[in-house]
Amino acid sequence: MKKTMKRFLALVVAALIVLGAAACTVPGQNEPAPQTGTTAQTPATPSAGGDTPATPATPATPAAPAEKIFRYSNLADAATLDPGKINSVPDATIGYHIYDPLYRNVQGSLEPATATSYDLSADNLTYTFHLRSDAKWSDGQPVTAHDFEYGIKRICDPAAASPMSYLMDVVKNGTAATQGEVSLDEVGVKAIDDTTLEITVQYPADYFLGMLSMSVFEPVRQDLVEKYGAEFGSAADKTVYNGPFKVTQYGEGRLVMAKNENYYDADKIKLDGVEIITVADPSTAVSLFEQGELDQVDLPTELAVQYLDQSLSYYSGADDYAALNHNNKYLANKNFRLAMNYAIDREEYILLSHEGLYQANQRYVLPQVRGVERDYGDEYPLEAFPLKADLAKAQQYLAAAQAELGFASPSDITLKLVVTDSDTAKKEAEIVANMWKNNLGINIDINLVPYATRNAMLVPNNPDFDIIMTGWAPDYSDPYSYLELWYSSSGYNYLNYHSDTYDTYLDTAKTTRGKPRMDALFGAESTLLEDGALVPLQLREVHYLVSDKVQNLQSYFIGLNYNYMFADKVG
Amino acid sequence: MTEETKAAAVGALTDEDFAVVGKNLEQMESISRPILTFWQEVWRRIRKNKVAYFSLLLLTLYALLAIFAPMLSRYGFDDQDAYAMRQGLSATHWLGTDSLGRDLWVRVWMGARVSLSIGLTAALINSVIGTVIGGFCGYYGGKLDMLIMRLIDVIYGIPSLIVCILVMIVLGSGVKSLIVAMVITGWAGSCRFTRGEVLRLKEQEFVLAARVMGEPVFSIIVRELIPNIMGLLITNLAMAIPGAIFQEAFLSYIGLGIAPPQASWGVLAKEGTKMLKIAPHMLYVPAFFICTTVLALNQLGNGLRDAFDPRLRGME
Amino acid sequence: MRKYILKRIGISLLTVFVLATVVFFLARLMPGGPFSDPKISATARENLAHYYGFDKPLIEQYFTYLGNLLHGNFGYSTKYPGQTVNALLASSFPYSADLGLRALCFAISFGLVFGVMSALNRGNGIDLFFVIVAVIGTSVPDFIMGAILQHFFGYKWGLLPIAQYKDITYTILPSVGLGFYTMASVSRIMRASMLEVVQQDYIKTARAKGVSNFRITWKHQIRNAIMPVITILGPIVASVLTGTFVIESVFAIPGMGKYYVESVQNNDYSMILGMTVFYGAFLVFCNMIVDILYGLIDPRIRISK
């Protein structure tokens, strides 16, 4: 017994050594190669042995003309391909390229897509879209106005539970239907015939057409939703595509797209495919780019300084601020809030947190959003708070607050600052906490929480934080996208900011158009900042690297980050 | 050797060279080595074990630096400097600076306070809980013992890190949560160990003697059994601290560490891994201290085991 | 023997059940909810909670969950809408298992070889070298080891791929990074065990009989010295598999560790539960096999347990 057992053990050990050396195949390796094929640098080795030496460090030059595959990375896997459930910018970017909307928002200008023209009723409430008849899904079926109607109604359907239903507030009865108050039939969207779609909006909204690029307004095939049920869009073959690309592989840390030959403008699409891999660590992604495994990479700001001469940049639209909870005894005081604002040295903050590469934000609304005719920031310049800390002013406001609130010394005050546990957010919090401590003498207690926990705290009347590090990215190019948050009764008003002046300005903006509307919005923004309602910190300016081979890659700050629809890869 | 040389060698000594000393009973009975208590003996053995002794000195040095270095430095552990970010080792900043221009020398020793105290506290609490429960289980046996042993089997089977992560999220970040999370999953090991030892010892004559003489159970456990396994317990403690330090580093790595601006070695090392390309010292510095501490603790543990039980010398 | 095995299986099942229950309630205690994107409106949140059945009483949810568990059905992820946890497990587990297996193979084979070589060269330079490797290996946390390996072998010297998991060259750095600690432990144990065995009488007898040195080392010394290594196989499997959490994120490998950390951060209840129970059950199973195997090999264990 004992002897055989030992022999058996010896065998096990020997087997282990052999296994460790070469034998087992790498998972995913034996999967059918994506239809586009893989790139020269990443030879798929279908041999079961898996011992074919790959030479990733020295890419082999392919003999045949290589397929044009654009490769980039995202921090997380795409959550879904279902246009009704996409709710992050990187996923929306994918949605932008695999589905085709009525109109495309290309760098802020409106380009016809599946719709070729539209009529607007005299009361500015009803849009009638005329759709092209040659639009096809990747399975060959025609794209009709009914697909659009179904897609939009599905967002409003409480049973479908779309996380993005708040965007339907602009559509007539959209919010009411989501809340189950009216039936879906009453939602303001209707297919007149296969090529005519009528959308009625709740109130005149100049930015409505710009929103049509968003995934929620994409067409959806009712037959497929009924076929796959909850699993619609959860796999490459559980949805169909009407955009320039179609997904061929989705899962296991990668998403591969191939050119969609059924796309009506297919001859204008130069790329053969796109490959997106998930790399959670940004500096690993940079290394992959340097070794030629990626064609584009976003630079973390610490690394971006090393590549300043080669990198490009764009404003991501994200506007980061420290939100103050006005239910706190001290933060309810306007002078105290202003002291908090003047105590921040925004220049030094940007230097410490992002090597000076982000833009210090001295106002609230992203200046790049659309104003009446030009950028809002150009039409309505504002520097509510100085770039450097103004300690004299900060002390003055603090003294005023002390007189009003009657606290003995600022060192008696301890504020709880909540921040997510990401490295960057943590660093940003440490910087502002330090500035408040040193410049005002108050104590800041930093609480690290996971992302989901932080987000769950962003509701009105939440006593769990005094200060919370967060931000906002716009859904459409208009100051209102930022300003609507702080309307007294808004469901997002986690500042608990209540200002009649502010509310009046926003009410005015809802009923006017053009310059008077923009003036009202600017009035609201000024009021917000005069009250020091929050502490604006930075506008994110993403620095990224693109391979020389890639041409015509565009970046944008609303709804998507990169547009590679018409990109090309040469050499 | 020839006969002649042998004779010559013997011939070199004559009878005059020897003297009769007679019997000295007192001297025969005296103990030539100084009388040492158990602990003195252990200490002597550790002193003789160069590696263990050096490890002990190093750990003492670290502990002293952790206490005094932050007080003596002219930098505060959270003093930021936008114009001294990620500097390498220099005369002004002995171990360089981090991403916010904070002095790493001070931060390393502030981190040591956190890491060492978490490691020590978690290991200590685990040992105490485990020893008490294990001791009683081992001594009494019976149904309760069965029940607790099954519970321990279950806890043993559960992947501790997974539970740690969840507990950390429920309790929020911070030193206390870290320790609680580690204790919840950690006590089972020392409990099982103590129980085994007590089971072995309780059948021995000295325990029997104590029992016969009517010593109460509590007193038997505390006065007879635990001192006898003390050595092993201390050894296990020294060996458990590295585990706790690693666990803290792991939890910090996935973002569940302690609240800033405080930092543990794990947090510093995590920040360092992200900066390997541009400021490698930010990783090497905390990594050096983690490694040397764990190394010293392991070596000290080995030394302690040898010192407590010389028969085990040379075993790994 | 049969009784021992049955008992072992019983405990394993109980462990999995306790784990499933504890994690269910722990997950619900986590602050925040699964639909916490600040942009999601309150209405949408209610609709989503209803969609996933989170609006039902907790006890009802618990029993539904247990029922589904018996059928091996972990439900739908909320972070990846429409994807079943089973599907995500099916896609990610092979990566973790592959990585873990490779790391184990590396750790055990190299650990044994290093330990043996070290012991056979006791006291000279080779021994010192292996002892130093082992001592360093047991004192470096795996994420630091992974990051350093990646930086030098992947980035600086370009010898091996930096990240991802495509063919065998991609697997080397993560497996070594993951297995290094274990390799070092195995090597230390093996060395000590070899040195102890060499003093045993049967080795002296064999030597006296004139058995060749090679034969003594191979047939007597190594075979007997390997036993202590077998005893720590259980903990080794557990430590290697939990280590994949970190190594997967360093090397961008789409394994379970990545999804687990993600699900915890997003309060993706079904995912947390599915991952934990599956992973826990797997570990429990590994431990059980090791225990039973060891019970088979060494009768003393059966008695003492």
Tell me whether strands A534-546 and A467-472 are parallel, antiparallel or unpaired.
unpaired
pLDDT for A13: 52
Query: Which residue has better confidence, B204 or A517?
Result: A517
Query: Which pTM value belongs to this model?
Result: 0.85
Mutate to test the interface with A, among C1, C30, C46, C47 (most CBs of A within 10 A): C47
Residue pair A179/C42 in contact by the 8 Å Cβ criterion: no
pLDDT surpassing 60 at residue C304: no
**What are B242-287's pLDDT values in tens digits?**
888 888 888 888 777 788 888 899 999 988 988 888 899 999 999 9
List CB contacts (< 8 A) between C139 and chain B: 242, 290-292, 294-295, 298
pLDDT class of B311 with cuts at 50, 70, 90 = low
pLDDT class of B2 with cuts at 50, 70, 90 = low
Residue A268 at interface with chain C, using a CB cutoff of 8 Å: no
Query: Which residue has better confidence, A37 or A411?
Result: A411
SS3 content of chain C, % helix, strand, coil (to 5): 75, 0, 20
pLDDT for B140: 83
Residue A422 at interface with chain B, using a CB cutoff of 8 Å: yes
pLDDT for C124: 87
Nearest to A450 among C51, C104, C265 (CB): C265
Mean of pLDDT over chain A: 87
Touching B (3+ Cβ pairs <8 A), the chains are A, C
pLDDT for A61: 46
Nearest to B275 among A302, A422, A431 (CB): A302
- pLDDT (average), residues C245-266: 86
pLDDT for A51: 36
- pLDDT (average), residues B25-54: 80
CB within 8 Å: B287 and C140: yes
pLDDT for A43: 35
**What are C23-47's pLDDT values in tens digits?**
899 888 888 888 878 888 888 888 9
Q: How far is C54 from chain B (nearest CA, A)?
A: 19
How many other C-beta atoms are found inside a 10 Å radius of the C-beta of residue A386? 16
pLDDT class of A544 with cuts at 50, 70, 90 = very high
Cα C110 to Cα C92: distance, rounded to the nearest angstrom:
27
pLDDT surpassing 50 at residue A308: yes
Residue A217 is given by DSSP the state: G
For residue A321, which amino acid is it? Answer: Y
> What percent of chain C has a predicted confidence (pLDDT) above 90?
30
Q: How far is A447 from chain B (nearest CA, A)?
A: 6
The rounded radius of gyration (Å) of the Cα atoms in chain C is: 24
Query: End-to-end CA distance of chain C, in Å?
Result: 11
Residue B172 at interface with chain A, using a CB cutoff of 8 Å: yes
Query: Which residue has better confidence, A326 or C287?
Result: A326
**What are A16-45's pLDDT values in tens digits?**
554 544 444 566 554 443 333 333 333 333
CB within 8 Å: A421 and B173: yes
pLDDT surpassing 70 at residue A287: yes
Cα A475 to Cα A205: distance, rounded to the nearest angstrom:
13
> What percent of chain C has a predicted confidence (pLDDT) above 70?
97
pLDDT class of C217 with cuts at 50, 70, 90 = confident
List CB contacts (< 8 A) between B270 and chain A: 423
**What are A62-115's pLDDT values in tens digits?**
455 678 999 999 999 999 999 999 988 999 999 999 999 999 988 888 899 999
List CB contacts (< 8 A) between B101 and chain A: 352
Q: How far is C127 from chain A (nearest CA, A)?
A: 22
Judged on CB neighbours under 10 Å (0-12, 13-18, 19+), A450 is: buried
Q: How far is C171 from chain A (nearest CA, A)?
A: 8
pLDDT for C99: 93
**What are C104-150's pLDDT values in tens digits?**
999 999 999 999 999 988 888 899 999 889 988 988 988 899 999 99
For residue B306, which amino acid is it? Answer: D
**What are B138-176's pLDDT values in tens digits?**
888 888 888 888 888 888 777 777 788 888 888 888 888
- pLDDT (average), residues C68-92: 91
CB within 8 Å: C150 and A284: yes
Q: Which of B104, B102, B100 minimizes the C-alpha distance to B69? A: B104
Residue pair B261/A446 in contact by the 8 Å Cβ criterion: yes
Residue pair B129/B290 in contact by the 8 Å Cβ criterion: no
Q: How far is B278 from chain A (nearest CA, A)?
A: 7
How many other C-beta atoms are found inside a 10 Å radius of the C-beta of residue C209? 8
Q: How far is A122 from chain C (nearest CA, A)?
A: 32
Helix (H) or strand (E) holding C101: helix C85-120
pLDDT for C220: 82
Touching C (3+ Cβ pairs <8 A), the chains are A, B
Nearest to C29 among B170, B266, B270 (CB): B170
For residue C74, which amino acid is it? Answer: F
Tokens representing residue A182 in the block: 């009216």
pLDDT for A96: 94
pLDDT class of A240 with cuts at 50, 70, 90 = very high
List CB contacts (< 8 A) between A12 and chain C: none
- pLDDT (average), residues A519-535: 96
Q: Which residue of B has its CA nearest to C287?
A: B157
Residue A348 at interface with chain B, using a CB cutoff of 8 Å: yes
| Range in A248-252, A456-460, B24-28, B181-185 the model is least confident about | B24-28
pLDDT surpassing 90 at residue C9: no
In whole angstroms, how far apart are CA C78 and each of A21, C257, C271?
A: 39, 17, 8
For residue C127, which amino acid is it? Answer: D
- pLDDT (average), residues C174-184: 92
pLDDT for A32: 40
